[in-house]
């Protein structure tokens, strides 16, 4: 398998750090995975985690307390060359509303790291909840199709393991006057989107509980649906734009991040085949 069954957990002295460790432990128990903990940030390493670490030691899970790192992104890139761990789990930073010349840490993480990233916001369990897969099936590029498959496969696996409902969400563009007829009428736009979603799901043999299709920019529609459903987790892809393009255009995952009240898992492009291996076995 390309992915090892190892979960990397980045801990710091933020309010969401303990939530990240709890979530990672639950996932590790389900996957039979090993946890590796690393400390980031300026706070005293492992301060406030003693009780949680003692519980982890008594849990029977395989785990190790790793190093203190200055740059999480650099460490992950170096490690990825040798060991494609299954997931990075981190507590989500506080809202990134303050103006700054530099991208917030979590945005940089989503742009610069090659691995799947889970940012934890909510302490609620995923079991019995709703898992929301955010897809863009109207994008006809082959790379976008593979990316949609990655998102759906991961969301479906999590829903199955957690005994949760699988839902999909798709945002459509507003009618474009003067364009082809199929891009002018809202009903036709929604119909095309629904057919594209259903065709993609048929190819993957997935049957979600419901498909949620609506007009509006993704960073508006996705959080709206997540809130209406009281979703446990949103799984979304990112194109990981960096540099000037990232500053000017941003990434949908980044724009969605601060508007969500739930956990978010972000997948980089190019993981579809590897995820099939991880989820269904050798």
pLDDT of residue 4: 64
Neighbours of 279 (CB within 10 A): 15
What is the CATH classification number for the domain harbouring 66?
3.40.50.620
Round to whole Å and give the CA distance between 148 and 11: 30
Do residue 141 and residue 252 come from a single domain?
yes
Six-digit token pair at 20?
Answer: 């990240």
Do residue 59 and residue 182 come from a single domain?
no
**125 part of a folded domain:** no
pLDDT of residue 272: 54
Q: Which domain holds residue 161?
A: 130-280
pLDDT in tens, the chain (282 residues): 345 688 999 998 887 899 999 999 999 988 888 999 999 977 788 988 999 999 999 998 999 998 898 888 888 888 887 777 888 999 988 656 555 555 677 888 888 788 889 999 998 899 999 999 999 988 878 878 888 998 999 899 899 989 999 999 998 876 654 445 555 566 788 888 899 999 999 999 999 999 999 988 888 999 999 999 999 999 998 865 444 333 333 467 888 888 899 999 998 776 655 555 555 444
Do residue 267 and residue 137 come from a single domain?
yes
Q: What are the CA-CA distances from residue 114 to residues 7, 70, 78, 111, 246 (Å)?
A: 14, 18, 10, 8, 16
Do residue 110 and residue 212 come from a single domain?
no
**53 part of a folded domain:** yes
Do residue 161 and residue 275 come from a single domain?
yes
Do residue 151 and residue 112 come from a single domain?
no
Count of domains forming the chain: 2
pLDDT of residue 79: 83
DSSP string, 107-151: HHHHHH--S-EEEE---S--TTSEEEEE--TT---HHHHHHHHHH
Do residue 147 and residue 222 come from a single domain?
yes
Where is the domain boundary, 65, 100, 120? Answer: 120
User: For the stretch 39-54, what's the b/e string if a residue is b when 16 or more beta carbons lie within 10 angstroms of its beta carbon?
Assistant: bbbeeeeeeebeebee
pLDDT of residue 8: 93
Q: What are the CA-CA distances from residue 227 to residues 90, 197, 221, 258 (Å)?
A: 22, 21, 10, 13
Round to whole Å and give the CA distance between 255 and 277: 30
Question: What's phi and psi for 181, nearest 5 deg?
Answer: -50, -35
Where is the domain boundary, 63, 96, 120? Answer: 120
The stretches of the chain forming alpha helices (DSSP H) are 17-31, 50-57, 72-80, 105-112, 142-162, 186-204, 218-229, 243-249, 252-257, 272-280
pLDDT of residue 2: 42
pLDDT of residue 88: 92
Strands 4-11 and 34-39, how do they pair? parallel
Where is the domain boundary, 57, 86, 120? Answer: 120
Torsion, CA 151, CA 228, CA 211, CA 158, rounded to 10: 40
DSSP string, 205-237: T---SEEEEEES-HHHHHHHHHHHHT-SEEEEE
Do residue 243 and residue 109 come from a single domain?
no
Whether the CB-CB separation of 222 and 170 falls below 8 Å is answered with: no
Do residue 115 and residue 134 come from a single domain?
no
Do residue 165 and residue 234 come from a single domain?
yes
Cβ-in-10-Å burial (0-12, 13-18, 19+) of 154 comes to buried
Torsion, CA 130, CA 134, CA 138, CA 142, rounded to 10: -120
């Amino acid at each position: 398998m390309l992915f090892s069954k190892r979960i990397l957990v980045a801990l710091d002295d933020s309010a969401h750090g303990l939530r990240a460790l709890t979530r990672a432990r639950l996932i590790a128990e389900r996957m039979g995975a090993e946890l590796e903990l690393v400390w980031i940030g300026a706070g005293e390493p492992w301060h406030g985690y003693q009780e949680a670490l003692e519980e982890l030691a008594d849990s029977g899970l395989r785990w190790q307390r790793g190093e203190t790192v200055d740059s999480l992104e650099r460490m992950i890139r170096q490690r990825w060359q040798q060991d494609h761990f299954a997931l990075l789990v981190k507590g989500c930073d506080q809202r990134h509303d303050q103006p700054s010349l530099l991208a917030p840490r979590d945005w940089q993480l989503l742009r610069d790291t090659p691995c799947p990233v889970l940012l934890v916001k909510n302490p609620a369990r995923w079991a019995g909840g709703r898992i929301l897969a955010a897809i863009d099936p109207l994008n006809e590029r082959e790379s976008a199709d593979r990316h949609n498959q990655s998102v759906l496969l991961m969301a479906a696996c999590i829903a199955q393991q957690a005994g949760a409902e699988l839902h999909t969400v798709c945002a459509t563009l507003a009618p474009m006057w003067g364009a082809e007829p199929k891009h002018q009428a809202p009903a036709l736009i929604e119909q095309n989107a629904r057919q594209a979603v259903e065709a993609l799901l048929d190819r993957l043999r997935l049957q979600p509980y419901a498909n949620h299709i609506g007009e509006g920019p993704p960073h508006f529609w996705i959080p709206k649906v997540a809130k209406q459903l009281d979703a446990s987790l949103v799984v979304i892809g990112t194109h990981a734009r960096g540099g000037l393009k990232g500053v000017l255009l941003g990434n949908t995952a980044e724009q969605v991040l601060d508007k969500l009240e739930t956990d978010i898992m972000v997948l980089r492009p190019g993981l579809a085949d590897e995820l099939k291996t991880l989820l269904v076995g050798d």
